[in-house]
Chain A
Amino acid sequence: MPGLGITYGRGGATTSLQDLQNSDCILIEGSNMAEAHPVGFRHPMIAKEKNGAKLIHIDPRFTRTSALCDVYAPIRPGTDIAFLGGLINYVLQNDEFFEEYVKTYTNAATIVSEDFEDAGATGLFSGWDEEKTRYDPSSWRYEGHPIDYAAVGGSQGNVVGESGGQSEMPPDQPRPTDMTLQHERCVFQILKRHFAKYTPEMVEKVCGTPREAFQKVAELISENSGREKTTAICYAVGWTQHSKGVQLIRTAAILQLLLGNIGRPGGGIMALRGHATIQGSTDIATLYNILPGYLGMPDANKDNDTWRDYIEDGTASTGWLANFPKYATSLMKAWYGEAFDAEEGALFDRFPRINGDHSYYPSIMAMKDREVKGAFNFGQNFAVGGPHANLARDALRALEWLVVVDAYEIETATAWKMDGVKPEECATEVFFIPAALVAEKDGSFTQTQRMLQWHDKAVEPPDDARSDAWFVYHLGRRIKDLYKDSADERDALIQAMIWDYPVEGEHDEPNIESITREVNGYNVADGSPVAGFAALKDDGSTACGGWIYSGVMAGGVNQARRRKPWTEQPNAATEWGWAWPANRRILYNRASADPEGKPWSERKKYVWWDEEQGKWTGLDIPDFQADKRPDYRPDPDAKGVDAIPGDGPFIMQGDGKGWLFAPVGLKDGPLPIHYEPVESPVPNLLYDKVQYTPTARLFDRPDNPYNKPMDPKYPHVVTTYRLTEHHTSGAMSRWLPWLSELQPELFCEISPTLAGEVGVDNADFVTVSTSRGKIHCRALVTDRIPVYNMDGRKIHTIGLPYHWGPNGLVKGDVVNNLIPVALEANVAIHEAKAFTANLEAGKV
């Protein structure tokens, strides 16, 4: 997620679940942690019960999490930036920020170009192009010479480039800063002015949060941050699934920088992911725009024509991504071996190029438009699991062929007999391949704190069931065979691809650890594993399938399989599994020491400079060059990590600092702004000229209508969510009797006030409708859903869990039929947590 990636340098959770035990205060927002990550929630509970930590929950619904927290603050769906912006304003106005941390570790003191204009009355930053509906970010640059920037680990890939173009001063002079933070164009003052209008009164008006609740939250996080104390923030898709999800997370990331909570024990931002290896599937990406390790896909719209162009385009001059050539070369060597020439980049000219958005939603639309002919589906159930699921099922029925690898007859395999469609009218050929499940195969998952954990194969899968690895490997073997005699140059990559994994057992399963070894990287000469990404070279002598996982097979030992009991090691548990990068558990942990390298306090001691040994040491693997002194200052013309000073904890960033202000890297502005959701019954009270984010990716198609803002036909706000007993689209839970009995039926949560207005009692059937579709379900009438008063008007929320579909043991209407395809500008996530709908009594 670039919200974290652009601010800190890496798009992953900065901390671990068990480190939450060290927190003095934990703010949970955009997550019903007790319900959706119940076992993860034991760590905040331990912090509360053992150490008296304060737990705060901010949510549109009073949930199981709220019930266990010290403070609950209600919030109208989709207004989190206004709330968090209010907290930033409180911290700045009341001098509650951690001054020493902010001055040295963030870009607060950096002066921004004169060309920059804040959003102010217009609601738009300088650089907005109304015609192209996009920003030109060049006016957001730092004053002086341009800065190279680089961020890794968001699903938008590495971003590398220059902020601004022309140099305004000689590059050998230091960039202008004002360490007093008083210069009117320094980041600190820009930030202060930007958030000045996010007053407690405004928060109450926009978010509907009672003044006292906001005040209590602001006081708690301020009291519990500083040298002696730390506050952590936990979020989940309640923050990501918005048309401004990235900026929403960035608001929290800015707040944590101001409070000095990043890189320190008990601090950080815990991104709660939703699937067993959702982090892994971005790290070793099955995404259109990135290759393993967040290396950008070659793009025909960029200067990526030759290998040299591609390398130049991806390489940063300062910061960690100066190493890009080593990682990209090693990936090509891992895939194409001798056929890839690291000098000239032979074969690179045959590598596919992107030239637009080929992500999930555009691809679904391309299926429906019959541009996509065939599709594979691995462990996903998008016929019911994604937004505007009606459109997704129409898309499935337009395919020529479809392969579904799964363990159950999920809806994605049966679109041809759903929605009243006559099978004899649907031409799609469907292959269902039975999948092996986790206990039936070896492999690794990367969980929410970037930690890889190995699972051992216990038993053989039944009958024809096979691992997805078996399926892809044997499909690949057949493909290699079909193309082996081709003389066409378009088949060169298939022919060159190394696909010789050893097989074992009665079903010829590929040896999984041999794949992990390739991901880890090895020396081409003798096949010996490299110790980590520092050993990778750009001369073709090393091969590595995913540089950020390099080190997972260090010494030839599967580090993800380490299982030293937690009772026998310190809380960081560095000998349980393996975390990227380089097994570091808390990222940016150089910031747990002061600029001189000493712990901020004895209580929050974590990583520090050991003068005697001349290196960084402590309770974790230092996220810093081990022997770089705290007083190291780079030469003005230093390159790569040498350009990062000894007090720059954010080593991925070109300046080593956390970015309060993002001079470049985001498509929707250098600072977060509160806009209403694309569909909202309320006008934008903070910026009345711009209702919703101007950069939202909307699709003007007759089959994807939107509910207009303030449309009286759709007066209520829907927010969707998960229940403990089901898993996302239900593919792994609706066929299990135990779980199905626990949550047998779809329902919607509504307030007694709304129930009274519509005329329904608890458990009556209702109809929820949008311009995309409608569903029927029973009403669960409860005080847990607050009602918001907006200028004398009542705004109601409808809560909808989204786990059901027509197949399985427990059936229910598909909630995702209701949701629009309205996407965020940076990562193309949809807006499922706030959209509008109508509610009627009975099955209409």
Chain B
Amino acid sequence: MFLKLTEKDGLWRKIRNHVGTTVEHPVSPATRDIRSRLSDDGVKKAVSVCPYCAVGCSTLVYHRDGRIIDIEGNPDSPVNAGTLCPKGSATFGLHNSPYRWTKVRYRRPYSGEWEDLSLDEALDMIAARLKESRDKNWEEDDEGGKKLCRSQAVSSIGGATIDNEENYLITKLFHSMGFTRITNQARI
């Protein structure tokens, strides 16, 4: 509608012809020059899926120079045929929110604030905590002498919002370490 209004041969031309040329164009020249950037040079398109509810709307992610410039509904999908709800439409904002945290944060015991930490150091520290909690809290057998081969001291929570492949790595690694307290949002 907006584009039509500003087109040379569009509604505005009809209005002008009708009322005469003394009426000022209601949209400024600068705004009239705005064009969708999606067809600009260097803009690429990736096919993705909405990360919110389970309807599974297909999306198109437009990006240039490593930055997302827009996320829209994919018209090819049998599920959403190009449409998106308010959440799906906000997927762009989910990625680009100024409030997003993109650095590792570390909260020391009894501390009142977050500190910086490098990713490498964080992973080393987490691996060490994981090993210690596991090794110190091992259950080899139950009271009846039946094998348990596990540690109940570490729990993994979550999975319904991350990829199938990520869930697969979690269950494979944590079961192999002997953990059983693995759980997520699903009760289906």
Q: Kindly state whether residue A838 has any CB partner on chain B within 8 Å.
A: no
* With contact pairs A275-B185, A448-B56 given, residues A432 and B106 touching in the complex (Cβ less than 8 Å): yes
Q: A291 contacts which of B50, B91, B175 (Cβ < 8 Å)?
A: B175
Per-position contact with A for B91-103: 1 when CB-CB < 8 Å, else 0? 1011101011111
* A residues 428-464 touching B (CB-CB < 8 Å): 428-434, 437-441, 443-449, 451-464
* With contact pairs A278-B185, A417-B112, A451-B56 given, residues A469 and B94 touching in the complex (Cβ less than 8 Å): no
Bound CA span A397–B13, Å? 67
Q: Which residue of A lies closest to B116 (CB)?
A: A464
In whole Å, how far is B77's beta carbon from the nearest beta carbon of chain A? Answer: 7
Bound CA span A382–B161, Å? 13
Which residues of A have CB within 8 Å of B63? Answer: 439, 458-459
Which residues of A have CB within 8 Å of B170? Answer: 286, 376, 378, 468, 472
Interface size on B, residues (CB 8 A): 113
In whole Å, how far is B24's beta carbon from the nearest beta carbon of chain A? Answer: 32
Q: Which residue of B lies closest to A449 (CB)?
A: B56
Stretch from A121-129, A357-365, A631-639, A670-678 contacting the other chain: A357-365
Whether the Cβ atoms of B173 and A479 lie closer than 8 Å is: yes
Which residues of A have CB within 8 Å of B75? Answer: 565
Q: Kindly state whether residue A699 has any CB partner on chain B within 8 Å.
A: no
Q: Which residue of B lies closest to A273 (CB)?
A: B54
Which residues of B have CB within 8 Å of A726? Answer: 87
Stretch from B1-9, B14-22, B27-35, B40-48 contacting the other chain: B40-48
Whether the Cβ atoms of A519 and B130 lie closer than 8 Å is: no
Q: Kindly state whether residue B37 has any CB partner on chain A within 8 Å.
A: no
Bound CA span A363–B54, Å? 26
Whether the Cβ atoms of A278 and B148 lie closer than 8 Å is: no
Whether the Cβ atoms of B119 and A466 lie closer than 8 Å is: yes
Q: Kindly state whether residue B182 has any CB partner on chain A within 8 Å.
A: yes
Whether the Cβ atoms of B147 and A278 lie closer than 8 Å is: no
* A residues 469-513 touching B (CB-CB < 8 Å): 469, 471-476, 478-479, 482-483, 490, 493-494, 496-497, 499, 510, 512
Q: Which residue of B lies closest to A438 (CB)?
A: B51
Q: Which residue of A lies closest to B177 (CB)?
A: A494
Most buried by B among A354, A375, A444, A724: A375
* A residues 389-410 touching B (CB-CB < 8 Å): 400-401, 403, 406-409
Which residues of A have CB within 8 Å of B94? Answer: 407, 437, 732, 736
Whether the Cβ atoms of B86 and A725 lie closer than 8 Å is: yes
* With contact pairs A376-B157, A467-B166, A468-B162 given, residues A478 and B124 touching in the complex (Cβ less than 8 Å): yes
Bound CA span A828–B187, Å? 7
Per-position contact with A for B65-83: 1 when CB-CB < 8 Å, else 0? 0111001000111111101
Which residues of B have CB within 8 Å of A217? Answer: none
Which residues of A have CB within 8 Å of B175? Answer: 291, 335, 351-352, 493
Whether the Cβ atoms of B90 and A733 lie closer than 8 Å is: yes
Q: Kindly state whether residue A372 has any CB partner on chain B within 8 Å.
A: yes
* A residues 722-744 touching B (CB-CB < 8 Å): 724-728, 732-733, 735-739, 742
In whole Å, how far is B11's beta carbon from the nearest beta carbon of chain A? Answer: 28
Whether the Cβ atoms of A287 and B86 lie closer than 8 Å is: no
Whether the Cβ atoms of A354 and B54 lie closer than 8 Å is: no
* B residues 163-188 touching A (CB-CB < 8 Å): 163-173, 175-188
Whether the Cβ atoms of B150 and A353 lie closer than 8 Å is: yes
Q: Kindly state whether residue A763 has any CB partner on chain B within 8 Å.
A: no
Which residues of A have CB within 8 Å of B79? Answer: 17-18, 39-40, 447
Bound CA span A305–B145, Å? 11
Bound CA span A468–B57, Å? 22
Whether the Cβ atoms of A355 and B164 lie closer than 8 Å is: no
* A residues 674-717 touching B (CB-CB < 8 Å): none
Whether the Cβ atoms of A497 and B173 lie closer than 8 Å is: yes
Q: Kindly state whether residue B160 has any CB partner on chain A within 8 Å.
A: yes
Bound CA span A447–B54, Å? 5
Whether the Cβ atoms of B68 and A275 lie closer than 8 Å is: no
Whether the Cβ atoms of A279 and B188 lie closer than 8 Å is: yes
Bound CA span A443–B77, Å? 18
In whole Å, how far is B86's beta carbon from the nearest beta carbon of chain A? Answer: 5
Q: A281 contacts which of B99, B179, B186 (Cβ < 8 Å)?
A: B186
Q: A439 contacts which of B46, B101, B109, B180 (Cβ < 8 Å)?
A: B46
Q: Kindly state whether residue B10 has any CB partner on chain A within 8 Å.
A: no
Q: Kindly state whether residue A349 has any CB partner on chain B within 8 Å.
A: yes
Whether the Cβ atoms of A371 and B152 lie closer than 8 Å is: yes
Bound CA span A413–B75, Å? 38
In whole Å, how far is A343's beta carbon from the nearest beta carbon of chain B? Answer: 20
Bound CA span A827–B53, Å? 21
Bound CA span A451–B103, Å? 34
Which residues of B have CB within 8 Å of A476? Answer: 169, 173
Q: For chain A, give the interface size range.
A: 35 or more
* With contact pairs A292-B168, A515-B169 given, residues A432 and B114 touching in the complex (Cβ less than 8 Å): yes
Q: B44 contacts which of A359, A458, A576, A724 (Cβ < 8 Å)?
A: A458
Whether the Cβ atoms of B90 and A363 lie closer than 8 Å is: no
Whether the Cβ atoms of A373 and B158 lie closer than 8 Å is: no
Which residues of A have CB within 8 Å of B154? Answer: 372-376
Q: Kindly state whether residue B125 has any CB partner on chain A within 8 Å.
A: yes
Which residues of B have CB within 8 Å of A482? Answer: 127-128, 131
Per-position contact with B for A274-314: 1 when CB-CB < 8 Å, else 0? 11111111111111100110000100100001000000000
Q: B130 contacts which of A374, A428, A455 (Cβ < 8 Å)?
A: A374
In whole Å, how far is A558's beta carbon from the nearest beta carbon of chain B? Answer: 11
Bound CA span A808–B166, Å? 26
* With contact pairs A464-B103, A464-B104, A725-B87 given, residues A352 and B157 touching in the complex (Cβ less than 8 Å): no
In whole Å, how far is A820's beta carbon from the nearest beta carbon of chain B? Answer: 16
Q: Kindly state whether residue A582 has any CB partner on chain B within 8 Å.
A: no
Bound CA span A42–B106, Å? 45
Whether the Cβ atoms of A497 and B166 lie closer than 8 Å is: no
Q: A403 contacts which of B47, B126, B128 (Cβ < 8 Å)?
A: B126
Whether the Cβ atoms of B162 and A379 lie closer than 8 Å is: yes
Whether the Cβ atoms of A272 and B148 lie closer than 8 Å is: no
Which residues of A have CB within 8 Å of B101? Answer: 406-409, 432, 434
* With contact pairs A275-B161, A432-B114, A453-B56 given, residues A380 and B184 touching in the complex (Cβ less than 8 Å): yes
Q: A416 contacts which of B56, B90, B107 (Cβ < 8 Å)?
A: B107
Which residues of B have CB within 8 Å of A416? Answer: 107
Whether the Cβ atoms of B180 and A354 lie closer than 8 Å is: yes
Whether the Cβ atoms of B176 and A335 lie closer than 8 Å is: yes
Q: Kindly state whether residue B123 has any CB partner on chain A within 8 Å.
A: yes
Whether the Cβ atoms of B157 and A375 lie closer than 8 Å is: yes
Whether the Cβ atoms of B164 and A444 lie closer than 8 Å is: yes
* A residues 828-844 touching B (CB-CB < 8 Å): 828-829
In whole Å, how far is A107's beta carbon from the nearest beta carbon of chain B? Answer: 24
Q: Kindly state whether residue A1 has any CB partner on chain B within 8 Å.
A: yes
Q: Kindly state whether residue A37 has any CB partner on chain B within 8 Å.
A: yes
Whether the Cβ atoms of A463 and B185 lie closer than 8 Å is: no
Q: Kindly state whether residue A603 has any CB partner on chain B within 8 Å.
A: no
Whether the Cβ atoms of A735 and B180 lie closer than 8 Å is: no
Whether the Cβ atoms of A372 and B56 lie closer than 8 Å is: no
Q: Kindly state whether residue A243 has any CB partner on chain B within 8 Å.
A: no
* With contact pairs A1-B188, A360-B157, A735-B100 given, residues A443 and B112 touching in the complex (Cβ less than 8 Å): no
10 closest A-B pairs by beta carbon, nearest first, are: A447-B56, A443-B163, A380-B158, A273-B54, A566-B78, A379-B161, A378-B158, A458-B46, A286-B159, A275-B160
- The interface of chain B, by Cβ under 8 A from chain A, is 44, 46-58, 61, 63, 66-68, 71, 75-81, 83-91, 93-95, 97, 99-112, 114, 117, 119, 122-131, 133, 137-138, 140, 142, 146-150, 152-173, 175-188
What are 24 A-B contacts defined by CB distance under 8 Å?
A155-B186, A272-B55, A277-B162, A277-B163, A279-B186, A300-B148, A305-B147, A352-B180, A372-B153, A374-B154, A378-B157, A407-B101, A429-B106, A431-B117, A443-B165, A462-B102, A464-B102, A472-B170, A475-B126, A493-B176, A545-B172, A576-B77, A738-B86, A739-B87
Beyond contacts A277-B162, A439-B71: 19 other A-B pairs, Cβ-Cβ < 8 A, are A273-B54, A275-B185, A284-B168, A297-B180, A355-B142, A374-B133, A377-B157, A378-B161, A417-B112, A430-B107, A431-B106, A432-B101, A456-B61, A476-B173, A478-B127, A512-B165, A724-B86, A732-B161, A742-B86
